[in-house]
Structure 1
């Protein structure tokens, strides 16, 4: 239970990072629709993924990492990044599904979808990225 609470706290921090980077990019870096609504969200998503990964690697699942090295870090990050992108797709799927079924506003659909995608992301981190029998193996 404590690990899940730490996970939620780290994701709230990641949401703050995402929002800040999105605001900075759309306010100071880009001045076109494509930059503001496509490129900026991609950049902010990756910053959030990196901050979430750092929290996971250095705090939440640190006791499960035996061989800390650059190769281990980047391999785990690659898998984490893919799982985060899948989590984003899960969120979007449920957001759109809830809108179709219930007709809720996008904010309520997003919050409900975040609950489901959050569980998906936690499971992926717990079982795949940082699991006791994780698929990531680094040669010594």
Structure 2
């Protein structure tokens, strides 16, 4: 679990860099209003970072918990991951706006501190809900489904057999 948590931290640091860079670009060059800087820019930067973090989670951190990697498992995990991240985003935004109101800090500083707090919440959701360990019987069923789909060569169709 310690190795997994370290991988999580590394991936989220990369996600934080992506989030911060996108936030900086949008809040500096695209928007000039409070709504643009403190709501729209963080929302856009968040979604780009979510996809980055999902790729790390799916292919690197929790890859051994995913059986039968195919489009269906990728999409279903991404949807659940995105929902869990939206919950984490709500936590992040509450703290981002709270710090801005209480201390008047720049959006970048508020965002970084809010990301630290919401990161703990996000790890728990990923570990225990999105990429939770599945019972062996479910993994076996998923493996069988992916074998059935993956073993037929592209040039052979059911009509041709």
TM-score, normalising length: structure 2: 0.66
Counterpart in the other structure of 2:53: 52
In the alignment, does 2:44 pair up with 1:33? no
Q: Residue deviations 1:78-100, cap 9 Å, x none?
A: 11111111112233445677899
In structure 2, the partner of 1:125 is 126
Q: How does 1:1-140 map to 2 (within 5 A)?
A: 1-28=2-29, 30-33=30-33, 36-37=36-37, 38-93=39-94, 107=109, 111=113, 114-133=115-134, 140=145
Quick one: distance in 1 between partners of 2:54 and 2:65?
Answer: 14
Q: CA separation in 2, counterparts of 1:40 and 1:95?
A: 12
Unaligned segments of structure 1, at least 5 residues:
none
Q: CA offset at residue 71 of structure 1?
A: 1.4
Per-residue CA shift, 1:80-137, capped at 9, x if unaligned?
111111112233445677899xx777658963x5444222211111111111129xx9
1:10/1:97 CA distance change after superposition, 3 Å = same
Cα offset for 1:27? Answer: 4.6
Shift in Å, 1:75: 1.1
Structure with greater Cα Rg: 2
Q: Give structure 2 stretches of 5+ with no counterpart.
A: 136-140, 146-161
Cα distance in 1 between the residues matched to 2:55 and 2:46: 14
Q: Tell me the matched-pair count.
A: 134
What is the CA RMSD across the aligned residues, in angstroms?
Answer: 3.4
- How has the CA–CA distance of structure 1 residues 44 and 115 changed in structure 2, closer, same or farther, with 3 Å as cutoff? closer
Per-residue CA deviation, residues 15-72 of structure 1 (Å, 9 max, x unaligned), is 10111222333455x3452784233322111000000100000100011111111111
Counterpart-to-counterpart distance in 1, 2:85 and 2:33? 25
